[in-house]
Chain A
Amino acid sequence: MADNKTSVVNKAYLAFVSEISPKTNETRSLFNAFAVGGFICVIGQFLRYMLEFVFKIEGDELAGAVSMILIFLSALLTGLGVYDRIGKYAGAGSIVPITGFANSVVAPAMEFRSEGFIYGLAAKMFIIAGPIIVFGVMSSVAVGIIYYITGLI
C-alpha cells in the first residue's frame, strides 16, 4: 500500500464507507443506558435499605451483602440467557454496574466449559474481566500513592 495512487483511492473509499454506514443512535443509546443502569442502581439501593432497616446489617457488611446479591442475580440471569438480551438493549447501562462485571465472568465460564474445567472454564473465566481487574488494581495503587503524597504536603 505504499503506492500513492492506491492510498488516494483508499481514502476516498473509506470516506464513502463511513458516510454510508449506519450510525448508532447515540441519543437512544444514552437514554437506554441511563434508564437501565439507573434501574439497576435503584434495585441496589432498595436492597440496601431492606438489609439496613429490616435485617439490621451495617457498615462494610451492608455494602458487601448488597454487592453479593447483585452479583448473584446477574450470574443467575446470565445462566438463564437473559442478561445478554438486557445488554443488547442497555449497552453500557448493564455493563458498568457490578452486575455487568459478574456477567463478563460468568459468560465465558459457561462458554468455555466445553474445553474442560482447568483450561476451559477456569482459564477463560477472566478473558473479559481480566483487563478490568488489572487496570482497576493499577489505578487504585496510583490513586493511593497520590493520596499519600498529597497528605505529606
Chain B
Amino acid sequence: MGKHTIFFHNAPSIVCTYSAAGKKESEGPIGSLFDYVLEDDYFGEKTFEKAECKMLSTVIEKVIKKSGYRKSDIDALISGDLLNQIVSASFAARDFNIPYIGIYNACSTLTEGLALGATLTDGGYMSDVIVATGSHFSTAERQYRYPLEFGSVRPPQSQWTVTGAGAAIVSRKGKGPKITAATFGKVVDYGVSDANNMGAAMAPAAMDTLITHFNETGRKPDYYDLIVTGDLGALGSRILKHIISQNGYEITDNHVDCGEIIYNIDEKEYQGGSGAGCSAVVFNSYIYRKLKEKELNKVLFSATGALLSTTTTQQGETIPCISHAVALEND
C-alpha cells in the first residue's frame, strides 16, 4: 500500500447509475446511452441555476428508483458542482431527507466522491451512498466567462461546459463493478495561466496521479482495459500522452477522455467537453454500461479538475489542478 493509494478489501460496488444531459450532449457520439435528455436548457425552470439544481435532484431521485432501493436505504449523499458555494448540489440535497456531504474539486468531483463513497462503505461505516455531480453550460458561462448573448469569440483551445448530471450508488453489498482502489491526487501547478486552456493546465495533474497510482499499486498501464480521464479534451489528452510517455509510461492504446468523446468536436472550434457534468454523464452512462456488460473489466478512472476562480484568473494567478483516480474492476 502506498501513501496516496487506498485498496478497498471489501470491494464496494457501484450497483446503479443514472445520467441526464442536454440536447447538444445527446447529439454526440454516446448521446443515445443517456438515461434522460433535457428538452431545453431551462428544464422547465425560470433560471439556469434552478435547472442545474433540478438536473441533480432528478438524477438522484431516478437512480434511487432505478436501483429499486428506498430513500431510507441511502446513508449519505455525496455531491458537488461547479457553482460558487456548490449551490446546485446543496439545494438539490434539501429535497432529500438524507445526510449530505458537499464536496468540491471542480471537474474531478465525481472521482473524489466515488473514492470517498468507497472509503465510507468499505470501512463499514455506511452501507449505501449516492455520489452525484453535475454542471450546466449556461450557469458556468455566466460565472466564468461572458453573458450568453454577448458576441465574443471562443478561442480554439477552449472547452465547452457540459450540461448534464450523473448519479451512482456505491454499495457495500450489492452487485456491480467493484471499486478496488483509489488514489487521491495532489494539487499540481505547472504554471499555465490561460483559463481558456484547461486541458493543458490539467494534463500534468492527471499524469501525476496516474504515475502515483502505477507506482504504488505496482500495476502497469496495460493492466487496465481502459484508462479514462475526465475532461482534458483533445488537446489535453494529446499533451498527457506526450508527457506521460516522457516519464516512461505508455497509455496511447487504452486511453480515452470523457471530454473528447462527449461531442462531435471540430478541433478548430473547441477541444471538447468539460465540467463536473462531463465525467458524470460519460461515466454513468457509457463507461458504466461497458463495465456492467463485461466488455471492459478493468478501468482506471481519473477525472481532472482545474481549481481556479474568476478572481484568481483576473489577479494573474496560474491554475492549480487536481486529479483523483479510482480503479474499477469486475470479479
Q: Which residues of A contact B (CB under 8 A)?
A: 1, 7, 9-10, 13-14, 16-17, 20-25, 29, 78-79, 81, 83-88, 90-91, 94-95, 100, 103-104, 106-108, 110-112, 114, 127-128
Q: Are B142 and A22 in contact (CB under 8 A)?
A: no
Which chain A residues lie closer than 8 Å to B157 at the CB level?
A: 21-22
A106 touches B149 (CB 8 A): yes
Give the Cβ gap from A101 to chain B, nearest Cβ, in Å.
Answer: 11
A23, B155: Cα distance in complex, Å: 8
Instruction: Check if A95 sits within 8 Å of B46, measured CB to CB.
Output: no
Counting residue pairs across A and B whose Cβ atoms lie within 8 Å, the total is 93
A91 partner residues in chain B, CB cutoff 8 A: 153
B156 close to A83 (CB less than 8 A): no
Q: Assess A14 versus B151: contact at CB under 8 Å? Given A21-B157, A22-B235.
A: no
How would residues 134 to 150 of chain B score, 1 for a CB under 8 Å from any chain A CB and 0 otherwise? 00000000100011111
Given A13-B191, A17-B239, A20-B239, check contact A84 B149 (CB 8 Å): yes
Query: Which of B149, B151, B235 lies in contact with A20, CB distance below 8 A?
Result: B235
In the assembled complex, the CB of A82 is this many whole angstroms from the nearest CB of chain B, namely 9
B23 to chain A, nearest CB (A): 15
Interface residues on B, range: 20 to 34
B residues near A23, Cβ cutoff 8 Å? 156
B binding-site residues for A, Cβ under 8 Å? 46-47, 49, 142, 146-157, 189-192, 197, 200, 204, 235, 238-239, 242-243, 267-268
Q: With contacts A10-B190, A13-B190 known, is A21 near B148, CB below 8 A?
A: no
Asked whether, in the complex, the Cβ of A107 is within 8 Å of the Cβ of B238, the reply is: no
Residues of A within 8 A of B147 (CB): 107-108, 110-112, 127-128
Whole-angstrom distance from the CB of A129 to the nearest CB of chain B?
A: 10
Given A17-B200, A20-B235, A21-B200: A110 and B149 within 8 A (CB)?
Answer: yes
How far does the Cβ of A123 sit from chain B's closest Cβ, in whole Å?
13
